[in-house]
């Protein structure tokens, strides 16, 4: 039987203090709405929820009524085409989720044991796992405070003769500075994979995230800016990558004969039902992105007045889509991240901690024992994200900010 990898907090040494405590229990609360004195709102403000206000039901109903509910059917191609067009890529390969989109994209490179892929340690586990599934080794790099993304200077230092690819993450929706990264990748002949799971609609110098590397992987999980419930997509400008990804997604059936397989393929297909939801969501992409950006600007304006709260970055060459609106606490705030989370949960406000870096994970700790990544560790120790759904209202934001202010005051 497979045994879990145990990692005791004591074994983490001074890293133990960055690891978040247990999830606080959310309590239903009565929120006074500050602007509209007197009016009250009961319940919780979730960290995220989908907005299904477009053609979702209509398209899903059509898929059911026409009997196309599996992985053939018109919505898949339409979703792939529209989504790829919106991110500025030539091809879209829809698949089962964001993790397998990463796996598929990397599989097209022929990556295997002995190969290295550079990734940020500050990411969600799927980035590292997709590399590990192929038998290759993730090489970890620290982040930079300016964007919370991978530090490009350290990427260059991490390149070895075994390096085959760089997988970069658009953390919480903030793009990576692609021009220097692409130059570096070109110089060393490396494949560039954008983990764009958090950055639907983000832009770099006006160009769409998802069209900037050799391939990109998007997630359409329930909390992502575009959702299909579960789902993912590889986008690319490279015809060879797209063709191979379509084939590998579907068991790598060959064109010569059916049931004849020349690649180790996968069943990573998306269903027409999910694609129906995805097409309807993608039609609203600009609206969702505009809502996230407007909400972030509103949060930032209010939170700037609270000492000890650091608001999220946006470089001047970037358009951040604020998938999640993250903040950092400084000592001046007076409460730790965990203390603030508990206090907000008591007021019915849901939050999440930042990623726990890969080198602190039970499954990866031994591989990176002794390596330290101070910026990623600091982000993990001090960061949390606030309710961020596209359908969040200004009233919700005022409730959250007021609660933060109240918690600080004690």
Among 99, 121, 284, 319, indicate the residue that binds ligand PLP (CB under 6 A). Answer: 99
Site track for ligand PLP across 127-166, x = CB under 6 A: x---------------------------------------
- For the CB of residue 244, give the shortest distance to ligand PLP in the complex, in Å: 20
Q: Is 213 among the residues that bind ligand PLP (CB under 6 A)?
A: no
Q: Which is nearer to ligand PLP, 106 or 399 (CB)?
A: 106
Q: Is 126 among the residues that bind ligand PLP (CB under 6 A)?
A: yes
Q: Is the dihedral of CA 297, 301, 306, 309 positive or negative?
A: positive
Q: Which is nearer to ligand PLP, 302 or 358 (CB)?
A: 358
Q: Is 195 among the residues that bind ligand PLP (CB under 6 A)?
A: yes
Q: Which is nearer to ligand PLP, 127 or 295 (CB)?
A: 127
Using CB under 6 A, which of the segments 25-33, 121-129, 200-208, 283-291 binds ligand PLP? 121-129
Residue 367 to residues 18, 128, 137, 363, Cα–Cα distance (Å): 19, 12, 9, 9
Cβ proximity of 221 and 97 under 8 Å: yes
Q: For residues 150 and 171, what is the distance between their CA atoms, to the nearest angstrom?
A: 9
**Which tokens belong to 219?**
């997630």
- For residue 121, the tally of other CB atoms under 10 A from its CB is 29
Q: Which is nearer to ligand PLP, 197 or 401 (CB)?
A: 197
Q: Is 219 among the residues that bind ligand PLP (CB under 6 A)?
A: yes
Q: Is 197 among the residues that bind ligand PLP (CB under 6 A)?
A: yes
Q: Which is nearer to ligand PLP, 236 or 398 (CB)?
A: 236
Phi-psi region of 11 (alpha: psi -120 to 50; beta: other; left: phi over 0): alpha
Residue burial 170-187, b: 16+ Cβ < 10 Å; e: rest: bbbbbbbbbeebbebbee
Q: For residues 368 and 256, what is the distance between their CA atoms, to the nearest angstrom?
A: 45
Q: Is 149 helix (H, G, I), strand (E, B) or coil?
A: coil
Degrees to nearest 5, angle at CA 314 with 312 and 317: 170
Q: Which is nearer to ligand PLP, 229 or 308 (CB)?
A: 229
Site track for ligand PLP across 229-248, x = CB under 6 A: ---x----------------
Binding region for ligand PLP (CB under 6 A): 97-99, 123-124, 126-127, 169, 195, 197-198, 219, 221, 232
């Amino acid at each position: 039987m497979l045994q879990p990898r145990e990692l005791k907090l004591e074994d983490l040494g001074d890293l133990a203090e960055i690891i978040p405590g247990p999830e606080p229990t959310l309590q239903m609360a009565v929120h006074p709405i500050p602007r509209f004195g007197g009016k009250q709102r009961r319940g919780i403000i979730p960290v995220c929820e989908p907005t299904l206000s477009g053609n979702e039901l209509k398209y899903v109903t059509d898929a059911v009524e026409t009997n196309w509910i599996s992985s053939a059917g018109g919505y898949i191609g339409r979703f792939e085409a529209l989504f790829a067009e919106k991110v500025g890529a030539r091809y879209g390969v829809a698949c089962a989720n964001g993790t397998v989109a990463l796996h598929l994209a990397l599989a097209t490179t022929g990556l295997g044991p002995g190969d290295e892929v550079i990734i940020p340690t500050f990411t969600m586990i799927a980035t590292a796992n997709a590399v590990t599934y192929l038998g290759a080794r993730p090489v970890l790099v620290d982040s930079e405070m300016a964007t919370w993304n991978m530090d490009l200077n350290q990427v260059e230092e991490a390149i070895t003769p075994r390096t085959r690819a760089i997988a970069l993450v658009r953390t919480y929706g903030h793009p990576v500075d692609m021009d220097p990264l692409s130059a570096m990748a070109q110089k060393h002949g490396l494949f560039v994979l954008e983990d764009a799971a958090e950055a639907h609609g983000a832009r770099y110098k006006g160009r769409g995230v998802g069209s900037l590397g050799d391939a990109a992987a998007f997630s359409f999980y329930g909390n992502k800016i575009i959702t299909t419930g579960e789902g993912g997509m590889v986008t690319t400008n490279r015809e060879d990558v797209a063709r191979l990804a379509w084939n590998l997604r579907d068991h790598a059936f060959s064109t010569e004969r059916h049931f004849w397989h020349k690649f180790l393929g996968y069943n990573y297909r998306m269903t027409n039902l999910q694609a129906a939801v995805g097409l309807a969501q993608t039609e609203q992409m600009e609206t969702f992105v505009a809502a996230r950006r407007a909400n972030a600007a509103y949060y930032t304006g209010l939170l700037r007045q609270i000492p000890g709260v650091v608001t999220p970055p946006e470089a001047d060459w970037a358009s951040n889509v604020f998938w999640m609106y993250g903040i950092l606490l400084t000592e001046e705030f007076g409460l730790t991240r965990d203390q603030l989370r508990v206090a907000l949960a008591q007021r019915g406000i849901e939050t999440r901690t930042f990623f726990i870096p890969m080198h602190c994970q039970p499954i990866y700790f031994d591989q990176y024992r002794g390596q330290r990544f101070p910026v990623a560790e600091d982000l993990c120790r001090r960061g949390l994200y606030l309710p961020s759904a596209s359908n969040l209202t200004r009233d919700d934001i005022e409730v959250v900010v007021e609660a933060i202010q109240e918690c600080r005051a004690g």
